[in-house]
Amino acid sequence: MSKELQKIAQQLSPLERSIVPHLEKPLPEIKKETGLDQTSISRALQFLQNKGLLEIKKTTEKTIQLGTNGLYYKKNHLPERRLTTALETKNHQPIQEAKKATKLSDNEFKAALGVLQKKALLQLKNGKLSLQASKEELSKKTLEEQFIDTLPLPEKDLAPEQTLAYETLKKRKEMVETKETAQTSFTLTDSGKELLANPKLLTETKDLIEDITTDVIKTWNRNKQLRAYDIHAPVPKLHASKRHFVNQAIEYGKRIWLDLGFEEMTGPKVDSSFWVFDALFTAQDHPVRDLQDTFFIKDVQAELPKKETTTKVKQAHETGIAGSKGWQYSWSPEEAKRPALRPHTTNLSARTLAKLKPEDLPKKFFTINKDFRNETVDWSHGFEFYQTEGIVVHPDITLRDLLGYLKLYYKKMGFENIRFTPAYFPYTEPSVEIHVYHPEKKTWLEFGGAGMFRPEVTAPLFGKPIPVLAWGQGFDRTIMDAHQIKDLREMYSNNLNQLRSKKIWLT
């Protein structure tokens, strides 16, 4: 006897143990003898298969049974039978009269006519219906009727004339239907047979301890033996509650900036055009200020900030400030009062810069938060998205420092291969685009924008021109990459199955 088999015997659970002695019998008998329900038997068989004692075979069998209409007609006779019966009472009836006599619906009557004409049992002449067969012939049950009486039947067992009836009835609405039933059987493997041939194995291992109860612990001695488990057996699912995976990523992103000495900015998601656009030197006729691109808010008006700031921003736009020529147009305070769902978190940077005093410097700020754009939704676009925004304010800060922070940030997000190219934003100069190399697509993807705030931005807000590094990086793309999400819509679907099964952010 193999050691292997002994080990298996030790691992047998009480459930498995209860059916093993009956394994030479067919399934229904096992059920009867053990008194177990179907689910328990299926599970026991599955476990025994896992242990290599038997092999389960699953086959499906198609059974033909009556459909909704079939059941009805079995009780109330088929339409064609009702018509022949009516005509037997009174042959050569006008068609409408016959219909009335049968009490059939239009469709049923049509079907009855069709069937009988096809079988050449009926003739329609001058609007009158006449039977073409003998009484004897008519009184016999048709193939279809016989077939209906014998249902349900396994599809594979049909006799030729039954097949014919089946084919005819299949064409009629909901007369018959097929149902697939799964049949389970099993055969014992060699190990299984060996186990059954050695009942001693079962009795020897019968008294192994199952659960470690308080009593077992109290009375423990060296003679006691615990049952071994099949550690490979599957177990029921357990759901761990988690932070939303996007918020986990935000936590990580925040830590990057906090570690680098950045302070967090918070502030309004609905803000005046003043903070969203005007303070950022975006001319009032710039296309981004169209309803097409930005969500403006209906029936709400914002107020402008203190006069000092407003006047300087107006000057920056109209005639220029700090050596700039400005945009050379007439700036409208009304336009600046239109509130919008911020299209970028840069309103927070502008507000922060306006609160800063020279003696506060140097300062670094960040936020990771939602932005909104009036977009239709597809795999790469949405109307809400996250951005990580940052500014560094210091009299001696340079473009090389901007590139340094961005490179470090992307490295920490897992992107080593990035490049910087020139770009354009109304509020930065020089401006930078950040591209990340996509090894699968073998191409550079744009991940974000950055730059140094223009003097037209810093002079009105801070009181004098000051170098400010500024960036707004799309955050969703980095999360999609980390979770191998191909469609942006999945990020915000809040599909509970997905939320429950998502891996956690591990860095």
Partner 1 sequence: MANVTFPRKAFEKEVKLTPQVIERIPFFSTPLESLTPDEIELEIFPDRPDLLSMQGYLRGLKAFLGKETGLKEYKTKSSGEKLKVDKSLPKEWPYAYACIVKNLKFDDDRIKEIIDLQEKLGATLLRRRKKGGLGLYPLEKITFPITFKGLDPNKINFRPLEGPKELTGRQILSRHPTGRAYGHLVEDWPKFPIFVDAKGVIMSMPPIINSHEVGKIDETTTSVFLEVTGTDPLTLQKALSIMVTTLADLGGTIETIECTQQTGEKQNIPDLTPQKNKLSLENTNKLLGLDLKEKDLAPLLAKMGHDYKNGSVKSPAWRTDILHEVDLIEDVAIAYGYDTFVPQIPDISTVGQEDPQEVFHTRLANLLTGLNLTELNTFHLIKLEEADRMGTKDTIETEESKTDYKLLRSDLLTPALRILQENKNADYPQNLFEIGTVFEKAGGVGRRSEQGAMRRNSKQAHEAPFGGGDTSSETGVKETEILQITLTPSNFTEAKQHLDTLFQALDLHYDLEETEHEHLVPGRTGLIKVDNTEIGHIGEAHPRILKAWGLKFPVASITLNLDELFKLIKG
Question: Is residue 408 near partner 1 by the rule CB under 8 A?
Answer: yes
Site for partner 1 in 110-129 (CB under 8 A): none
Question: Is residue 265 near partner 1 by the rule CB under 8 A?
Answer: yes
Question: Is residue 26 near partner 1 by the rule CB under 8 A?
Answer: no
> Which DSSP state fits 423?
-
Given 142, 162, 352, 478, the residue binding partner 1 (CB under 8 A): 352
Which of 127, 141, 119, 75 has the alpha carbon at shortest distance from 98? 127
Given 21, 52, 114, 268, the residue binding partner 1 (CB under 8 A): 268
Measured between alpha carbons, how far is 220 from 49 in angstroms, rounded to an integer?
33
Binding mask 199-238 for partner 1 (x = CB under 8 A): --------------------------------------x-
> Which DSSP state fits 155?
G
Q: Which residues pair with 60 in a beta bridge?
A: 182
CB atoms within 10 A of CB 33: 13
**Is it true that the peptide bond before 305 is cis, omega within 30 degrees of 0?**
no
Question: Is residue 485 near partner 1 by the rule CB under 8 A?
Answer: no
Piece of the chain touching partner 1 by CB under 8 A; list 86-94, 153-161, 209-217, 250-258: 250-258
Question: Is residue 398 near partner 1 by the rule CB under 8 A?
Answer: yes
How large is the angle between the packed helices 143-150 and 68-76, nearest 10 degrees?
110
Phi, psi of 68 (to 5 degrees): -55, -50
Question: Is residue 406 near partner 1 by the rule CB under 8 A?
Answer: yes
CB closer to partner 1 out of 127 and 287: 287
Query: Are the C-beta atoms of residues 183 and 58 closer than 8 Å to each other?
Result: yes
Q: How far is the CB of 403 from partner 1 (least distance, A)?
A: 4
Sole residue written with tokens 């679907």: 493
> Which DSSP state fits 398?
-
Site for partner 1 in 287-316 (CB under 8 A): 287, 291-292, 295-303, 305
Site for partner 1 in 412-441 (CB under 8 A): 419-424, 429-433, 435
Site for partner 1 in 358-387 (CB under 8 A): 362-365, 370, 372, 374-377, 383-384
Distance of CA 155 to the CA centre of its chain: 38
CB closer to partner 1 out of 147 and 405: 405
Question: Is residue 341 near partner 1 by the rule CB under 8 A?
Answer: yes
Measured between alpha carbons, how far is 369 from 349 in angstroms, rounded to an integer?
12
Question: Is residue 496 near partner 1 by the rule CB under 8 A?
Answer: yes
Question: Is residue 318 near partner 1 by the rule CB under 8 A?
Answer: no
Sign, CA dihedral 161-163-167-170, equals positive
Given 394, 463, 489, 490, the residue binding partner 1 (CB under 8 A): 394
